[in-house]
């Protein structure tokens, strides 16, 4: 068992990583069940493929289960209302624990519901996608999407515990595995060239389900995320904003494709990261070689690295318009995560959006 601690004073919590952990879920969750009930919230695909294993692992610990539709559209006001109503109907008390059992969609929605239900209930993350295991289950960003864009309504609400069983990835569709891999590569791009080198050498192993490489990718990623979140929980110092690499472009691509299956979040992040590096190169900040190396690795991992590969044919102006609600916006200016090289990203505060739009037009 590998334990990583997210160090946030009294809100600190462990992330436990071990193959087969689902079968022992009861050992880790028993202490919560003694003080109240466990309510599992999951989606229909996870319910079909992994819920029996979790239920067996909980060995009779009292639990209720709520199954929601799968997909990004579940991060909505309507689902938030329906979920909180159902939790209230079940008589959930603040001493109960809500288990988010699914990918980032379930984790983000359930975390948000837990943060507002009865002014704040405890919750536990049991992530079932690679993306959720390496990124969304850690750090306490919770959200739903609004009509104007991605994650625009949400809260910071840390879980009490994160249980990661890499074996659950056996049933994850390959496209979803690749999408999660984009957020793994992100940690190398941000500040860790050696990890990007590791990704180039072992990314294929992760994508083919090799157990050792998968655990290494997860453990390295959550350690990096825990460190950054511990330094800047609420994204106030600029440190946590590094985790947003590729997301300003990426969220605009997701908005342009209607938050649909045309482009998954991880795919948008892959393309957004490639764009951030090429824009940095175009600005003379980083070498063309590094930008090409990033795009090449993402593309050979089966991820979109160009607008065409992301199925986006919008003008630069239209894409920049989607960025107007980015949460990094400050005084009407939008800071961008740019790069001086692989592993050397920084928050640039003086980017001219007209120049971004021209760059994106050149990418079409
Ligand atoms: N809070 C954060 O810090 C953070 C970080 C990154 C991403 N996110 C958010 O996460 C969301 C994307 O998460 P995601 O990529 O996990 O997508 P997702 O939750 O939609 O899951 C992807 C698909 O895989 C299915 N699935 C999940 N686990 C499975 C399993 N083990 N076997 C079979 N099918 C399984 C789901 O039903 C779904 O159809 C986005 O909304 C994104 O904004 C949040
Ligand atoms: O944890 C963070 O901080 C991140 O930015 C992680 C991202 O991968 C994630 O997609 C996050 O939800 C984006 O945050 P947002 O603030 O741009 O909505
Ligand atoms: Zn992301």
CA 68 to chain centre: 19
Percentage, residues of the chain above pLDDT 70:
100
Domain count, the chain: 2
Q: Which domain holds residue 88?
A: 2-171
Single out the residue in 145, 171, 197 at which a domain terminates: 171
Residues 225 and 281 in one domain: yes
Contact of 207 with 185, CB cutoff 8 Å:
no
Residues 13 and 154 in one domain: yes
Residue 186 CA, ligand 3 centroid: distance in Å = 9
The CATH number for 24's domain is 3.40.50.1970
- 342 labelled as ligand-binding? no
Q: Where are the alpha helices (DSSP H) in the chain?
A: 25-35, 44-49, 51-58, 77-89, 104-116, 130-131, 174-191, 193-207, 211-231, 247-256, 265-282, 288-300, 316-322, 353-363
Residue with token string 């605009």: 252
Contact of 162 with 225, CB cutoff 8 Å:
no
**Quick one: pLDDT at residue 211?**
98
Ligand 2 within 6 A of CB of 186 = no
Ligand 2 within 6 A of CB of 233 = no
Is the pLDDT at 272 greater than 90? The verdict is: yes
Ligand 1 within 6 A of CB of 6 = no
Single out the residue in 143, 171, 199 at which a domain terminates: 171
**Quick one: pLDDT at residue 31?**
83
Identify the nearest ligand to the CA of 103 by its number: 1
Residues 110 and 89 in one domain: yes
Residues 166 and 178 in one domain: no
Catalytic residues: 119, 141, 183, 225, 235, 240, 244, 247, 251, 265
Ligand 1 within 6 A of CB of 75 = yes
d(CA 13, CA 312): 40
Residues 139 and 19 in one domain: yes
**Quick one: pLDDT at residue 61?**
86
- 248 labelled as ligand-binding? no
Ligand 2 within 6 A of CB of 328 = no
Ligand 1 within 6 A of CB of 247 = no
Residues 93 and 165 in one domain: yes
Return the residue whose CA atom lies nearest to atom 7 of ligand 1.
Answer: 136
**Quick one: pLDDT at residue 134?**
98
Dump pLDDT digits (tens) for 217-228. Answer: 999 999 999 999
Residue 345's H or E segment, with its range, is: strand 344-348
Return the residue whose CA atom lies nearest to atom 18 of ligand 1.
Answer: 103
Residues 241 and 104 in one domain: no
Residues 338 and 191 in one domain: yes
Is the pLDDT at 244 greater than 90? The verdict is: yes
- 229 labelled as ligand-binding? no
- For a mutational test of ligand 2's pocket, the pick from 238, 247, 267, 347, i.e. the residue with the most ligand atoms closer than 8 A to its C-beta, is 247
- 176 labelled as ligand-binding? no
Interface confidence (ipTM) of the complex? 0.99
The model's pTM: 0.98
Residues 222 and 348 in one domain: yes
Residues 32 and 156 in one domain: yes
Residue 244 CA, ligand 2 centroid: distance in Å = 6
Return the residue whose CA atom lies nearest to atom 18 of ligand 2.
Answer: 151
Is the pLDDT at 81 greater than 80? The verdict is: yes
Dump pLDDT digits (tens) for 338-358. Answer: 999 999 999 999 999 999 999
Q: Which atom number of ligand 2 is nearest to the Cα of residue 186?
A: 8
Alpha carbons within 13 angstroms on the beta-carbon side of residue 234 total 6
Q: What is the largest CA-CA distance in the chain?
A: 60
Residue 358 CA, ligand 3 centroid: distance in Å = 25
The CATH number for 297's domain is 1.20.1090.10
Dump pLDDT digits (tens) for 291-336. Answer: 999 999 999 999 999 999 999 999 999 999 999 999 999 888 999 9
Q: What angle do CA 24, 108, 259 make, to 5 degrees?
A: 125
Residue 243's H or E segment, with its range, is: none
Dump pLDDT digits (tens) for 118-129. Answer: 999 999 999 999
pLDDT range class, residue 194, cuts 50, 70, 90: very high
Residue 337's DSSP bridge partners are: 347
Q: Which atom number of ligand 2 is nearest to the Cα of residue 150?
A: 18
**Quick one: pLDDT at residue 307?**
98
pLDDT range class, residue 1, cuts 50, 70, 90: confident
Residues 191 and 128 in one domain: no
**What would the DSSP string read from start to end of 254-312?**
HHHTTTSTTS-HHHHHHHHHHHHHHHHHHTTSS-HHHHHHHHHHHHHTT---STTTTT-
Q: Residue 274: which residues within 8 A CB-CB, separation 6 or more?
A: 246, 291, 294, 295, 298, 305, 306
pLDDT range class, residue 166, cuts 50, 70, 90: very high
Ligand 2 within 6 A of CB of 254 = no
Ligand 2 within 6 A of CB of 243 = yes
Identify the nearest ligand to the CA of 187 by its number: 2
Contact of 70 with 129, CB cutoff 8 Å:
no
Single out the residue in 171, 191, 217 at which a domain terminates: 171
- 74 labelled as ligand-binding? no
Return the residue whose CA atom lies nearest to atom 14 of ligand 2.
Answer: 244
Identify the nearest ligand to the CA of 239 by its number: 2
Residues 52 and 193 in one domain: no
Dump pLDDT digits (tens) for 7-64. Answer: 999 999 999 999 999 999 999 998 887 778 899 999 999 999 999 999 999 988 878 9
d(CA 224, CA 54): 27
Ligand 2 within 6 A of CB of 145 = no
**Quick one: pLDDT at residue 35?**
73
- 150 labelled as ligand-binding? yes
Average pLDDT, the chain: 96
Is the pLDDT at 68 greater than 90? The verdict is: yes
């Amino acid at each position: 068992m590998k334990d990583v601690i997210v160090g946030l004073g009294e809100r600190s919590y462990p992330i436990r990583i071990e193959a087969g952990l689902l079968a022992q879920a009861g050992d880790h969750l028993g202490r919560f069940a003694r003080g109240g009930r466990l309510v599992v919230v999951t989606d229909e695909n996870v319910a079909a493929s992994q819920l029996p294993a979790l239920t067996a692992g909980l060995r009779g610990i009292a639990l209720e289960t709520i199954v929601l539709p799968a997909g990004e559209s579940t991060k909505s006001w309507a689902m938030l209302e329906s979920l909180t109503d159902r939790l209230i109907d079940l008589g959930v008390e603040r001493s109960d624990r809500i288990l988010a059992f699914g990918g980032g969609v379930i984790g983000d929605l359930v975390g948000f519901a837990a943060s507002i239900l009865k002014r704040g209930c405890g919750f536990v993350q049991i992530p079932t996608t690679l993306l959720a295991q390496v990124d969304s289950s850690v750090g306490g960003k919770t959200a739903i999407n609004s009509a104007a864009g991605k994650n625009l309504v949400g809260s910071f609400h840390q879980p009490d515990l994160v249980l990661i069983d890499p074996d659950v990835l056996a049933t994850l569709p390959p496209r979803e595995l690749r999408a999660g891999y984009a957020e793994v590569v992100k940690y190398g791009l941000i500040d860790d060239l050696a990890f990007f080198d590791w990704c180039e050498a072992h990314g294929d192993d992760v994508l083919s389900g090799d157990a050792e490489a998968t655990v290494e990718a997860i453990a390295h990623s959550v350690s990096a995320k825990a460190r950054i979140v511990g330094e800047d929980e609420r994204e106030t110092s600029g440190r946590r904003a590094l985790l947003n690499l590729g997301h300003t472009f990426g969220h605009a691509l997701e908005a342009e494709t209607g938050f649909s299956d045309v482009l998954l979040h991880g795919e948008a992040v892959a393309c957004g990261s490639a764009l951030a590096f090429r824009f940095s190169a175009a600005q003379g900040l980083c070498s063309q070689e590094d930008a090409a190396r990033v795009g090449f690795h993402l593309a050979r991992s089966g991820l979109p690295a160009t607008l065409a590969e992301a199925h986006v044919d919008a003008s630069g102006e239209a894409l920049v318009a989607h960025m107007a609600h980015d949460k990094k916006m400050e005084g009407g200016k939008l800071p961008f995560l740019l790069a001086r090289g692989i592993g050397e990203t920084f928050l640039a505060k003086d980017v001219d959006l007209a120049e971004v739009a021209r760059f994106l037009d050149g990418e079409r």
